[in-house]
Amino acid sequence: MKQFYNVFSNEKVTTMLTQLSWSHYLLLLPLDDYNEILYYINISKTNNLTQRQLQERIKDKEYKRLPIESRKKLIKNEVLKPNDLIPNPVRIKNSNNYKNISEKILQHLILEDIPSFLKELGNGFTFIDNEYPIKFGNRYNYIDLLLLTIHYLFFIIDIHSKLLWVSSICLSFEYILNT
């Protein structure tokens, strides 16, 4: 209880206690960075995270994987765009223990476990299709992954080796393969 008071001494403690369960706060108290604690409190409230879901996000170091600019925006309470909250690098499960990763293998790994990939991107994403055809003039181009998000009409993900390119918001990020 004293540690809780030390961390939140400048907040209204009675208001803070009603926002999350005590189990949530026990997960947050060991964290050193006050801004990181506030980030996890906010996403827990916004996304209605259970204790286990919050524990997973802390274990995956989601806050530390956010771009530095996004963390600064969070501290200053500036308006965030959806791409500000996408962790970088994005973790992709490598269940088949591939050593050499091509674009097709990377796409296969994402599609193999699309729910984990969408959770990694954050809240508000849904999978529409892969290899989605778009016609430009008399020629078809194919989108590797088409996602729908509540913040934009769509997310287009083009897979290249070592980078994923999200062209609807001009964001590229690296990925890490988890075995």
Which pLDDT tens digit goes with each residue over 97-156?
A: 888 878 888 888 889 989 888 888 877 788 888 888 877 788 887 878 887 777 665 556
Alpha-carbon span 34 to 91, nearest angstrom: 25
**Residue 172 domain boundaries:** 87-178
Alpha-carbon span 164 to 119, nearest angstrom: 16
Question: What does each C-alpha distance from 74 to 34, 85, 122, 178 come to in angstroms?
Answer: 12, 10, 16, 28
User: Which SS3 state, helix, strand or coil, does residue 148 take?
Assistant: strand
Q: 139 and 95 in one domain?
A: yes
Residue 165 domain-assigned (yes or no)? yes
How far is C-alpha 105 from the chain's CA centre? 22
Q: 91 and 53 in one domain?
A: no
Residue 76 domain-assigned (yes or no)? no
What is the reported pTM? 0.62
Q: 99 and 57 in one domain?
A: no
| pLDDT higher than 60, residue 173 | no
What is the tally of structural domains in the chain? 2
Q: 116 and 51 in one domain?
A: no
Q: 147 and 95 in one domain?
A: yes
| Residue 153 main-chain phi, psi, to 5 deg | -70, -40
Residue 127 domain-assigned (yes or no)? yes
